[in-house]
Amino acid sequence: MGLLSDPNRRRALISLLTRLNAPICVVCYMAGVAWFMGLAFEPFTLRTYMSENAMGSTMVEERFPAGERALATGREFAAHKKKAGGMPVDWLVRTMQARGLEVFTQSFSRTLPFPDENKERYMVRGTNVYGILRAPRAPRTEALVLSAPCSPGDSNNQAVGLLLGLAHYFRNQIYWAKDIIFLVNEHDLIGMQAWLEGYHHTNTTGMDWSPLQGRGGSIQAALSLELSSDVVTSLDVVLEGLNGQLPNLDLTNLFYAFCQKIGVLCTIQGKLQRNDWDSVSGYSHSVQTMMLMVMKQASGRPWGDHGLFLRYHIEAATIKGINSFRQYKTDTTTIGRLLEGMYRKLNNLLERLHQSYFFYLMPSLSHFVSIGYYMPAFGLLAVILLLRALDLWVQLSTPPPRTEDGVDDIEQSSPGVLSVLTPLVISHLTGVALYMLPIRFQEMAVEHFPVSETEAVVLTAIAVYTAGLALPHNTHRLVSGEGTEQGWKVLKLVAVLYLAVLLGCTALINFSLGFILAITLVPVAAFITPHVPKLLSAFILVVLSPAFTLLFSVFLYQELLEMPISFQEGWVLYLSVISQGILDHFLYGSLVYPLVALLVYPCWLLFWNILFWK
Amino acid sequence: MAAYRCYYPAVLLILCSFSVFVVADTEDATLINGQDVTALNSPQTASKTAAQTAEQPAVEERQWEATASAAAADDQDRTPDTPAPGAEVQPVVPPVLPEPKDSFQEELVFRPLHSGDIYASFQFRTLWETDFMRGNKVSHYRLFPKSLGQVISKFSVRELHISFTQGYWRTMQWGQPFLPSPPGAELWVWFQDSVTDVDGTWKELTNVLSGIFCASLNFIDSTNTVEPSASFKPLGIGNETDPRFLRYATLPREIVCTENLTPWKKLLPCGSKAGLAVLLKSEKLFHSSFHSQTVHIRPVCQDWQCKTTSWELRQTLNVVFDLHTSGQSKREWSLFKMFSRTLTEACPLASSSKIYIDITDNPQGEQFELTPATTLLSQAVVLGDRRTFSVYDLTQQATFGNTRSLNLLIRWKSSEGDMLRPLLHAERYVAGYGLQTGEIHTLMYNNHPYRSFPVLLLDSVPWYLRLYIHTLTVTSKGKDNNPSFIHYQPSKDRVRPHLLEMLVQLPPNSVTEVTVQFERALLKWTEYTPDPNHGFYVGSSVISSLVPSIVAMDTNSTRERPLFSSFFPCKEESSYFVRVYTEPLLVNLPTPDFSMPYNVICLTCTVVAVGYGSLYNLLTRSFQIEEPSPGLAKRIANVIRKMRGVPPL
């Protein structure tokens, strides 16, 4: 800072930064990407460790014996489900009561803003059944949740069977200090949302639900169980929740510790852990794992039923049983023992899980990257924006060499304000249109075009998005006449700073989303001026726009899953991803759609505007 | 009449026994006298009298037993006022024996619950006709525990109620308890109106009680003490109801365990050596779903006309055993299974010692089977319901049978019961998410089909939840339900809690919801508990009400009752007093990360010193380029030019 208070040195520094601005930016960009890719390299990451003392050493003994019986219950459940054509509410209530639980039901209904074609639902009506195991001599202040969704078809029956089996076994134990809530939710996330809103008596998404009758105090942790086969080869843990929230790392550690203890194969993102970190394939494996996590987190949608708990500050994860073609199989008794161990450990908790990290990326289950390690990667990208802003600021503040009188100054700056404000307002209005119109105009679109509601919504969104490209630079020319050299610089300064703040805030909440947006938007922001070749730049600008970022992400995600798809399939998937994103916003309050529509897209339009500055 | 019939044979028996055994123990005589008193006082059914008369030989046998044991125990001489052995040898004993002014009763009530669980309630009652408040110090204690007596006289206590509870009473499954209590510790005390510094006395009293009961009652201070104006009326005699002399406090976090049970047992005249208290073994009592122990002290009338008052010390212990966790496949309960003990004798100091088993739902024995069977039945109106009990009198030797030990066995025949619908129950929870605001919801259920009744709701909320009292709403059946009386005392930070008392009319068959929003305060860093992420407790709400009785409810029931008796619901049974406690709340407050003070200090210092200082400097000052300083020769030349009066170079 002493450097800056000396005007000579300040001048030297600034001239250095402005002279070498472009190379520094390029270096920063490369360094940022390199740093990010380096995060997956095992020697650079930390081993996971249990921070919570109450769950430290493995002191509990797992004795759950009744895996076969749980499977039988699961089959019985399947039969009743088939007979009832949905959730067998009466049977569940009776079964849970027979196991000595306090049983309650909650009915809910929700009309989606437009039909969900992936899951084929529009007007959803369902019932959640939950039984509370009251801990002996506990005052109903704390609870744990074990949930299993009642899925349509033949899936997930084993999970419900195991849930009931565990309920029966847990009920006979004396050591519980927290109430345990066994929840079977219908219509997966919608049911879970209804239950959580009912439990906390909030209504954030306008759903209709009947109030809950029984509660167990503040929920400390939750696990959601997905199990569709009698035996599994491995267990997969899903962490990514709503808006990229993650549960406390200790919950993952707990799962990993018990998998190690009991000897169950465990995966994250469906990827096993490899020991050959020093080989290229080992490294690319962990890059894949980490990139999958980044992709899922950036999408902002809950990737399992646990995802909605995180909003209520309840640490939660989904445990999925995976049955592949491996030889080594794990039976239900072992999974039951694993869950028993986890619940006993969670039962021992004195405080909420708070010791370990809430912000992390996982290149494998045993290694993690904490916020302190991954933030520099984003910082290096964000600094480019600040450097460009500095450069523009210096250019603007140095007076043009020929005129030095005040009149000229006023002449130059007064159209500046208007020329900045107009595109800002117009592009934001376009953003608002992108946010509002798809839902509002779906009926009209269905009337006039031969499309379904879902298609109507998605196509309207794409239409508004495309129309936005034509709008701002045309209208602002009408309002403010010819743009000046000074004008686009002011506009770009504002846009660059706006983008820096926007990405910075996004990265703090959801690093992955912030980083992916930064990777694509920062180069655009850095190089765009009215003087670059129009056609090529316009092409690059469009290719790096948020909509195309999403398209690339779809392909990249499929590539990472090792399920590459053709362009045709990719396009269909892309359309459904857009509709899912809009639905996620209206159903669960995911913020990615409004963020992109209301802030990122208008910001990008500003740069589009600069390109066509006349 | 019945009582007299019972009395005469008893006196005869006494005379007979004393004439045969010249050496008699006062302890035994006391016992017999006490029994007579109970026989006189308690109205007994004809069947019971018949049973007693039939059991005369058995009673005689007991006499033999008791005398023998008393003679054996003579050396120990535990009771202080046992007369010298010489005094006992008297030819004519009965009329001369002075009637002691204190008495002790013990009883144990079992209520088999629908869920297969069993509820056991011990009641111990010590009555003493004395006056602690008069100038002369009471120093001669017999049955009444001295530690409590001294507390009463030193702190001028009029009434004292303590309860220690581990667990929450599940009204929906278990019905109403005989004596409700909130989870944790609860203490409420009425002081005599002669006390001038009530707060000071209260502070001292809580510290003394904390020592007596090995509990954290010393954590009761002004921040969790309230003076409820209506919810806690004196339970003993006396008309003084000025809330200035009442203090009420709860410690919802208090954990009750063996260290609280031991001092509680020591207050009993027989300790845990004899009588029902033998069953109080901590390893079994704390292997249960619910455990609650209480001490109540109050002045009561000694006789019908209330000419003299005496002090009643009532100790109760309630426990619910869980069918599932006991690890048994059969649905059956026995004394041994519950307490790992059987009964062999009554407390020798007790004037009455009985076991009651609630068999109301089981008149023909279709629900459960009771062994050994008893023919003694007793009826009582408990909580507005007429209940029938099987009675086992432990003072009678026949109860113990041939094995000389009583091991009651309850074997269930049917399985599973549904949830109950108690007329009044309540629940409470915190709504909302995030660490800034929240909302407390209290739900009160009136399940009476056609009658509404008023309830008094008492809420005491710690100051760190800042209640927005303007958001208080009371709704039932979707409509506003204006409370007819509201007493609200706002909190003062770090001094006193919020107190909210309301009188609300609950419409029939409805749920009344009371909501109030609050803001979570940021505490000072030393005010956090050692485990701040656990959350902070808010004590239970108390709902006190007169609930229309079930007996009065069945209006069309003409069975077994003459028509003329059933038109107007009889007054005594038309409503009964119920106190319901809601669950305590666990609320998370915004908590700093205490594990990183070093990082925080470093970061703040850096930010302040480097960032703020120099940035401020840069922003507020204007910088100019300094003229390069002139050389030495030029300076000298300038000095000379100045002396010459010529402008410098």
Q: Which residue of B has its CA nearest to A51?
A: B595
Instruction: Show the domain range for B35.
Output: 2-77
Yes or no: say if A223 and A148 are a contact pair by the CB < 8 Å rule.
Answer: no
Average pLDDT over residues A3-24: 82
In this predicted structure, the answer to whether residue A475 has a pLDDT above a threshold of 60 is no
Same domain membership, residue B473 and residue B537: yes
Does A263 or A421 have the greater pLDDT score?
A263
Does residue B185 fall inside a structural domain?
yes
Q: How many domains does chain B have?
A: 4
Model confidence pLDDT, tens digit, residues B572-627: 456 788 899 999 999 999 988 776 777 778 888 888 887 787 788 788 877 777 77
User: Which pLDDT does position B552 carry in this prediction?
Assistant: 55
Q: Cα–chain-centroid distance for residue B139?
A: 29
Question: Tell me: the pLDDT tens digits for B310-345?
Answer: 899 999 999 999 877 766 667 788 888 889 888 888
Split at pLDDT 50, 70, 90, the class of B38 is: very low
Query: Which of B331, B358, B381 is the last residue in one of the domains?
Result: B331
Average pLDDT over residues A594-603: 93
- pLDDT at residue number B228: 92
Q: pLDDT tens for residues A219-232?
A: 999 999 999 999 99
Residue whose pair of structure tokens reads 């309301």 in the numeric block:
B502
Q: How far is A205 from chain B (nearest CA, A)?
A: 14
Inside any domain, residue B337:
no
For residue A312, give the chain B residue with the closest CA: B433
Percent of chain A's residues with pLDDT above 90 = 55
Q: What are phi and psi of B137, to 5 degrees?
A: -75, 135
**B582 and B605 part of one domain:** no
- pLDDT top residue among B5 and A87: A87
Are B55 and B173 within one domain? Answer: no
Q: What is the largest CA-CA distance in chain A?
A: 92
pLDDT above 90 coverage of chain B, percent? 37
Nearest chain B residue to A200, by CA: B431
Of the candidate ranges A281-290, A478-487, B428-437, the one whose mean pLDDT is the lowest: A478-487
- Average pLDDT value for residue range B94-122: 80
Q: Which of B228-232, B424-428, B619-623 has the lowest mean pLDDT?
A: B619-623
* The pLDDT value given to residue B414: 66
**B444 and B319: one domain?**
no
The end-to-end CA distance of chain A, in Å, is 40
% residues pLDDT > 70 (chain B): 78
pLDDT in tens, A264-287: 999 998 888 888 888 889 999 999
User: Which of B587, B612, B629 represents a domain boundary (last residue)?
Assistant: B587
Query: Closest partner residue to B586 among A8, A141, A313, by Cβ?
Result: A141
Same domain, B188 and B326: yes
Residue B189, helix vs strand vs coil: strand
B128, B102 Cβ separation under 8 angstroms: yes
pLDDT for B83 equals 39
Residue A71's φ and ψ, nearest 5 degrees, are: -65, -40
Residue B617 in contact with partner chain A when CB distance is under 8 A: yes
Residues of chain B contacting A4 with CB distance shorter than 8 Å: 614, 618
The rounded distance, in Å, linking the Cα atoms of B317 and B501 is 29
CB contacts of B324 in chain A (<8 Å) are 100, 171-172
Both tokens of residue A202? Answer: 């909030």
What would the pLDDT profile of A123-161 be if each residue is shown by its tens digit? 899 999 999 999 998 999 999 999 999 988 888 899 999
Residue B12, both tokens: 């005869």
Instruction: Sheet with A46-47: list strands edge to edge.
Output: A46-47, A367-370, A360-364
Assess whether the previous peptide bond of A399 is cis (omega < 30° from 0): no
Span A34-50, pLDDT tens digits:
999 999 988 889 999 98
Cβ of B289 within 8 Å of Cβ of A136? The answer is yes
Q: Is the pLDDT of residue B431 over 70?
A: yes
C-alpha dist (Å) from residue B600 to B168, B198, B377, B526, B594? 41, 45, 72, 16, 9
Q: Inform me whether the pLDDT recorded for B79 exceeds 50.
A: no
pLDDT at A52 over 50: yes
As a whole number, mean pLDDT of residues A79-94 equals 91
Residue A399 burial by Cβ neighbours in a 10 Å radius (0-12, 13-18, 19+): exposed
B609 and B464 share one domain? no
Query: Is the pLDDT at B111 greater than 80, yes or no?
Result: yes
Flag the least confident range among A8-12, A44-48, B72-76, B530-534. Answer: B72-76
How far apart, in whole angstroms, are the C-alpha atoms of residue B614 and residue B608? 9
Q: Is residue B83 part of a domain?
A: no
B605 and B508 share a domain?
Answer: no
Smallest CA–CA distance from B534 into chain A, residue: A351
Ordered DSSP codes for A90-158: HHHHHHHHHTT-EEEEEEEEEEEEEEETTTTEEEEEEEEEEEEEPPTT--S-EEEEEEEEE-STTTTHH
User: B306, B331, B356 — which closes off a domain?
Assistant: B331
pLDDT confidence of B49, banded at 50, 70, 90? very low
Spell out the residues 6+ positions from residue B453 whose beta carbon is closer than 8 angstroms to its own: B424, B446, B505, B506, B545, B546, B547, B548, B575
- The answer to whether A217 contacts B585, with C-beta atoms less than 8 Å apart, is yes
B412 found inside a domain: no
Contact: A139, B290; criterion CB under 8 Å: no
Chain A residues close to B170, C-beta within 8 Å: 102, 134
Helix (DSSP H) and strand (DSSP E) numbers for chain B: 16, 26
The mean pLDDT value for A306-313 works out to 93
Positive or negative: CA dihedral A541, A547, A549, A554? negative
- B608 and B582: one domain? no
Tell me whether residues A139 and B610 touch, CB distance under 8 A. Answer: no
B283 touches chain A (CB under 8 A): no
Comparing CB atoms, the residue among A6, A139, A350 nearest residue B252 is A139
Of A6, A202, A355, the CB nearest to B432: A202
Tokens representing B220 are 């009761």
Instruction: State residue B2's pLDDT score.
Output: 42
Burial grade of B567 (CB within 10 A; 0-12, 13-18, 19 or more): exposed
For B228-248, what is the mean pLDDT? 86
Judge: A100–B534 Cβ closer than 8 Å, yes or no. Answer: no
Question: Which stretch of DSSP H or E encloses residue B537?
Answer: strand B536-538
Q: With beta carbons under 8 A apart, name residues in chain A contacting B115.
A: 100
Opening angle at CA A174, ends A168 and A177, nearest 5? 100
pLDDT of residue B53: 38
B584 and A139 within 8 Å at the Cβ level: the answer is yes
Nearest-CA distance B248 → chain A (Å) = 20
Q: Does B290 touch chain A (CB under 8 A)?
A: yes
Residues of A in contact with B595 (CB under 8 A): 355
Instruction: Find the DSSP H helices in B82-165.
Output: 85-88, 146-154
Largest CA-CA distance found in chain B, in angstroms, rounded: 146
Pick from A160-164, B287-291, B414-418, B480-484: least confident: B414-418
- The CATH code of the domain that includes B545 is 2.60.40.740
Distance from C-alpha of A390 to C-alpha of A413, rounded to nearest angstrom = 18
Is the Cβ pair A202, B433 closer than 8 Å?
yes
Amino acid in position A59:
M
| Highest-scoring range by mean pLDDT, A111-115, A481-485, B486-490 | B486-490
Whole-angstrom distance, CA of residue A590 vs CA of residue B581: 39
Does A102 sit within 8 Å of B614, measured CB to CB?
A: no
Does the pLDDT value for residue B30 go beyond 80? no
Span A377-398, average pLDDT: 90
Q: What is the pLDDT of residues B263-286, one digit of tens each?
A: 999 999 988 888 899 999 888 888
pLDDT at residue A204, rounded to an integer: 86
Q: How many CA atoms lie within 13 A of B428 on its CB side?
A: 29
**SS3 letters for B492-530?**
ECCCECEEEEEEEEECCCEEEEEEEEEEECCCCCCCCCC
Compute CA distances B537 → B212, B427, B431, B541, whole Å.
Answer: 25, 16, 15, 12
> In this predicted structure, which of A67-81, B144-158, B616-630 has the lowest mean pLDDT?
B616-630
Task: Kindly provide the ipTM of the predicted complex, given to two decimals.
Answer: 0.88
Would you say residue B41 lies in a domain? Answer: yes
Does B114 score more than 60 pLDDT? yes
What per-residue confidence (pLDDT) applies to B172? 85
Torsion-angle region of A100 (φ positive above 0: left; ψ -120 to 50: alpha; else: beta): left
pLDDT at residue B70, rounded to an integer: 38
- Please name the residue of chain A whose CA is at the shortest distance from the CA of residue B435: A313
Q: Which residues of A touch B (CB under 8 A)?
A: 1-2, 4-8, 10, 97-98, 100, 102, 134, 136-142, 171-174, 200-202, 214-215, 217-218, 311-313, 350-352, 354-355
Burial of B646 (0-12, 13-18, 19+ CB in 10 A): exposed
CA A206 vs. chain centroid, Å, equals 22
Instruction: Look at A137 and B586 and tell me if their CB atoms are within 8 Å.
Output: no
Q: What is the pLDDT of residue B319?
A: 94
Whether B585 and chain A come into contact, CB under 8 Å, resolves to yes
Interatomic CA distance for residues A141 and B167, integer angstroms: 10
Average pLDDT, chain A: 88
Q: Is residue B327 part of a domain?
A: yes
- The whole-number pLDDT of residue A195 equals 95
Helix/strand/coil for B246? strand
B266 and B202 both lie in a single domain: yes
Whether A86 contacts A187, CB under 8 Å: no
3-state per-residue secondary structure call for B577-596: EEEEECCCEEECCCCCCCCC
pLDDT value for B554? 55
Q: Which of A466-470, B128-132, B227-231, B575-579 has the highest mean pLDDT?
A: B227-231
For A137, which of B288, B327, B623 is closest by C-beta distance? B288
Distance, CA of A495 to CA of A475 (rounded, Å): 18
Residues forming beta bridges with residue A135, ordered by sequence position: none
Using a CB-CB cut-off of 8 Å, the residues of chain B touching A308 are none
Smallest CA–CA distance, residue B112 to chain A, in Å, is 16
Distance from CA of B555 to the nearest CA of A (A): 30
Report pLDDT for B133: 73
Nearby residues of B580 by Cβ (< 8 Å), 6 or more positions away? B171, B180, B424, B425, B426, B542, B543, B544, B545
User: Which site among B170, B324, B518, B528 would you substitute to test the A interface, given the most A Cβ atoms closer than 10 Å to its Cβ?
Assistant: B324
Domain assignment of residue B385, yes or no: no
- Minimal Cα distance from B290: which residue of A? A137
pLDDT by residue (tens digit) across A314-366? 999 999 999 988 888 899 999 999 999 999 999 989 889 988 899 999 999 99
CB contact under 8 A, A102 and B419: yes
**B197 within some domain:** yes
Distance to chain B for A52, nearest Cα, Å = 12
| Residue B520 and residue B456 share a domain | yes
Residues ≥6 apart with Cβ < 8 Å to B310: B101, B127, B128, B129, B130, B299, B300, B301, B302
Same-domain status, B453 and B492: yes
Say how far residue B558 (Cα) sits from the centre of its chain.
38
Residue A351 and residue B589: Cα distance in Å, rounded? 13
Q: Is this structure's pTM higher than 0.90?
A: no
Per residue in B329-388, pLDDT (tens digit) is 677 888 888 898 888 888 889 999 999 998 887 767 777 788 888 778 888 877 777 788
- Per-residue pLDDT band for B547 (boundaries 50, 70, 90) equals confident
User: Do B572 and B609 have their domain in common?
Assistant: no
